[in-house]
């Protein structure tokens, strides 16, 4: 971001999923640290009380002397009210409840299918998509009606299909999908520079990368620091840590942190394919054949990452609800700290406060070669005033591209199945996923059971 000391006031942000105790608080923290912006954030959530509690928390934060950015937070009862007059729309929702997520993640385990996340691909990702797409169809229609000129920033998973649905329904929409997984890989490269070249404290933003792929299955074919090609060093780094992994100062952290890993999957994929896999191990593993990294819990343990249990998410939610009450009542002070996300930097760039280059999910208009036009891909893009221009990023080598294309076409099939309420088409995508390593008969049984567990979100399906 280039320095710019202008101040933009009266920005209108609609936050869809405004009762969130994660992303919403992160947005508040980042806005509080940004003195060049101010305005109103309208919080809309199916749980109005949760959104209203967040409004109280946000307004308390904005009143503090250490909050550089001054914002008014307002819970609103309707999507129309949230969207009308908005300059930016941020979407971060949980499609369904943890009950549906429990089925997505854990029912396949009865059939020997293990998923580390279950929100993007695999059987869990497919079923989650089927209940998410109808929600995004309605969001796209509402945006077209009430906020056609606003910029849409999506954080919800499955990222690819959420973004793809917005463009399918409203082709002129100005929407981007944002994900921080590539940032984690840049941080890993910074740690590598410290260990291998004795260059400490490198800011991950100073590591320049070329991004190719789809969300959670991204790859780097270029990486440099101050003109230094990092691939030769990474080759040595991956070889050095391929057996035991790399965790820096947090050795063993992956065993008690559901979101951590020792990067062994990432190193293994580099040694197999020669490019840097640029997502967390938990996500990368789900795109590969089940026998590679997710054969069973013992295999997962050997690769030093975790199966994120939904029971943990439920307990975490209870803890966050309790924290929410404390924050709203002033019993606990909101901690202002950087999230590491780039959403506010994107907003500033779109308002003309300096250009940035970062990775985003957008329909392929030629920025990624040997890939269907219109399919949502993740590459770098240049952000400027009211403009996001994807960068021509080249193409993946055939051996990686074949893996990526399988998922692209599966996701396209799921989209069409959802739009047409075609259960047979949905099953074809489900059974074609590389994690579904069971007989077609077992796959059909599992599919029907999982679909039944999410049927309340598919009211028009037969």
In-domain check, residue 317? no
Indicate if the pLDDT at residue 275 is higher than 70: yes
Q: Residues 279, 351: one domain? A: yes
Residue by residue, DSSP assigns 299-362 as HHHHTT-----HHHHHHHHHHHHHHHHHHHHTSSPPP-------HHHHHHHHTTS--EEEEEEE
- Please determine, for residue 220, whether its predicted confidence score (pLDDT) is greater than 90: yes
Query: Do both 169 and 195 map to the same domain?
Result: no
Task: For 362, list phi and psi in degrees, rounded to 5.
Answer: -150, 160
State residue 246 phi and psi, 5-degree precision. Answer: -135, 125
Partners of 390 in the β-ladder: 381
> Do strands 151-154 and 88-91 pair parallel, antiparallel, or not at all (unpaired)?
parallel
Please give the average per-residue pLDDT across 67-80, as a whole number: 97
Cα 265 off chain centre by: 19
- Residues 212 and 167 placed together within one structural domain of the fold: no
CA atoms of 280 and 285, how far apart (whole Å): 9
Looking at the structure, tell me whether residues 444 and 376 fall in a common domain.
Answer: yes
In the predicted structure, residue 459 carries a pLDDT above the cut 90: no
180 is catalytic: yes
CA distance 254 to 70: 38
Lowest mean pLDDT among 102-111, 132-141, 314-323: 314-323
Domain boundary among 159, 176, 193: 176
Share of the chain above pLDDT 90, in %: 94
> What pLDDT, on the 0 to 100 scale, is given for residue 460?
85
Alpha-carbon distance 95 to 135, whole Å?
8
One domain for residues 110 and 166? no
Judge whether residue 257 has pLDDT over 80.
no
Q: What is the pLDDT of residue 6?
A: 81
Residue 253: pLDDT above 80? Answer: no
The answer to whether residue 400 sits within a structural domain is yes
With respect to residue 328, please indicate whether it lies within any of the assigned structural domains: no
CATH number for the domain spanning 87: value is 3.40.50.720
Sort 332 into a burial class: Cβ within 10 Å, 0-12 / 13-18 / 19+: middle
Q: Same domain, yes or no, for 182 and 43?
A: no
Mean local confidence (pLDDT), 15-22: 93
- Same domain as 258, residue 150: no
Query: Is the pLDDT confidence value at 2 over 50?
Result: no
- The reply to whether 146 falls in a domain is yes
- Decide which of 152, 176, 200 is a domain's last residue: 176
Same domain assignment for residues 73 and 113: no
DSSP state letters, 383-401: EETTEEEE-------HHHH
pLDDT at 1 over 50: no
The tokens for 365 are 């208009």
Residue 334 belongs to a domain:
no
> What value, to the nearest 5°, has the Cα angle with vertex 124 and ends 260 and 178?
60
Q: What is the pLDDT of residues 134-174, one digit of tens each?
A: 999 999 999 999 999 999 999 999 999 999 999 999 999 99
Q: Give the pLDDT score at 249.
A: 64
Q: Are 189 and 353 in contact (CB under 8 A)?
A: no
Q: What is the pLDDT of residue 256?
A: 57
CATH assignment at residue 369: 3.90.1820.10
User: Rounded CA gap, 308 and 319, in Å?
Assistant: 17
Same domain, yes or no: 295 and 407: yes
Q: Do residues 385 and 267 share a domain?
A: yes
Residue with tokens 């979407």: 91
Question: Which of 133, 152, 176 is where one domain is finished?
Answer: 176
Section 60-66 average pLDDT: 96
- Spot the catalytic one: 5, 102, 106, 180: 180
Cβ(215)–Cβ(159) under 8 Å?
A: yes
Domain that holds residue 18: 8-99+118-176
Q: Are residues 204 and 250 in the same domain?
A: yes
Do residues 256 and 400 both lie within one domain?
A: yes
* Residue labelled with tokens 């599919």: 447
Percent of the chain whose predicted confidence (pLDDT) is above 70: 97
Q: Is residue 226 part of a domain?
A: yes
- Sequential DSSP letters for 203-263: -GGGEEEEEEEETTEEEEEEEEETTEE-HHHHHHHHHHHTTT---TT-TTGGGT-TT---S
How does residue 231 score in pLDDT terms, banded at 50, 70 and 90?
A: very high
The structure tokens 């929600």 sit at 135
- Domain tally, the chain: 2
Question: What is the average pLDDT value for the chain, to the nearest integer?
Answer: 95
Would strands 228-229 and 217-225 be described as parallel, antiparallel, or unpaired? antiparallel
Asked if residue 326 is part of any domain, the answer here is no
Task: Kindly state the average pLDDT of the residues 327-345.
Answer: 95
In a domain, 321, yes or no: no
Answer for the pair 451, 421: CB distance below 8 angstroms, yes or no: no
Q: Largest Cα–Cα distance of the chain, in whole Å?
A: 63
pLDDT tens, 395-414? 999 999 999 999 999 999 99
Q: Over the range 404-425, which residues count as b (16 or more CB within 10 Å of their CB) and which as e?
A: bbebbebbbbbbebbeeeebeb
């Amino acid at each position: 971001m280039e320095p710019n000391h202008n101040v933009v006031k009266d920005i209108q942000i609609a936050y869809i999923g405004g009762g969130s105790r994660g992303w919403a608080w992160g947005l508040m923290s980042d806005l509080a640290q940004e003195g060049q912006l101010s305005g109103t954030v309208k919080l809309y959530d199916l749980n109005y009380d949760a959104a209203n509690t967040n409004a109280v928390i946000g307004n308390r934060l904005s009143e503090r002397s250490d909050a550089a950015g001054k914002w008014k937070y307002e819970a609103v009862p309707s999507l129309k009210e949230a969207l009308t007059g908005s300059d930016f729309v941020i979407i971060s929702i949980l499609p369904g409840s943890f009950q549906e997520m429990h089925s997505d993640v854990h029912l396949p385990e009865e059939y020997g299918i293990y998923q580390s996340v279950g929100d993007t691909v695999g059987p869990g990702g497919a079923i989650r998509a089927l209940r998410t797409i109808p929600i995004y169809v309605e969001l796209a229609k509402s945006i077209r009606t009430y906020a056609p000129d606003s910029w849409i920033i999506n954080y919800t998973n499955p990222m690819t299909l959420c973004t793809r649905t917005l463009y399918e329904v409203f082709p002129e929409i100005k929407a981007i999908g944002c994900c921080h997984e590539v940032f984690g890989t840049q941080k890993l490269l910074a740690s590598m520079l410290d260990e291998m070249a004795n260059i400490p404290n490198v800011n991950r933003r100073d590591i320049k990368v070329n991004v190719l792929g789809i969300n959670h299955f991204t790859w780097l074919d270029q990486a440099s620091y101050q003109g230094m090609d990092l691939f030769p060093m990474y080759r040595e780094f991956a070889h050095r840590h391929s057996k035991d992994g790399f965790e820096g100062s947090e050795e063993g952290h992956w065993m008690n942190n559901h979101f951590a890993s020792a990067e062994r999957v990432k190193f293994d994929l580099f040694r197999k394919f020669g490019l840097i896999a640029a997502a967390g191990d938990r996500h990368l593993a789900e795109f590969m054949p089940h026998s590679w990294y997710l054969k069973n819990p013992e295999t997962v343990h050997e690769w030093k990452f975790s199966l994120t249990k939904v029971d943990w998410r439920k307990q975490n939610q209870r803890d966050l609800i309790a924290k929410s009450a404390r924050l709203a009542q002033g019993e606990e002070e909101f901690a202002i700290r950087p999230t590491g996300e780039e959403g506010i930097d994107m907003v500033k760039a779109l308002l003309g406060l300096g250009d940035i280059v970062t990775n985003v999910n957008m329909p392929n208009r030629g920025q990624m070669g040997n890939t269907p036009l219109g399919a949502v891909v993740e590459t770098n893009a240049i952000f400027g005033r009211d403009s996001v221009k994807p960068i021509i990023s080249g193409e993946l080598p055939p051996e990686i591209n074949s893996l990526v294309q399988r998922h692209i076409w599966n996701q396209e099939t799921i989209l069409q199945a959802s739009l047409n309420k075609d259960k047979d088409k949905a099953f074809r995508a489900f059974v074609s996923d590389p994690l579904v390593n069971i007989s077609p008969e077992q796959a059909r049984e599992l599919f029907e059971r999982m679909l039944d567990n999410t049927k309340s979100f598919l009211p028009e399906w037969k």
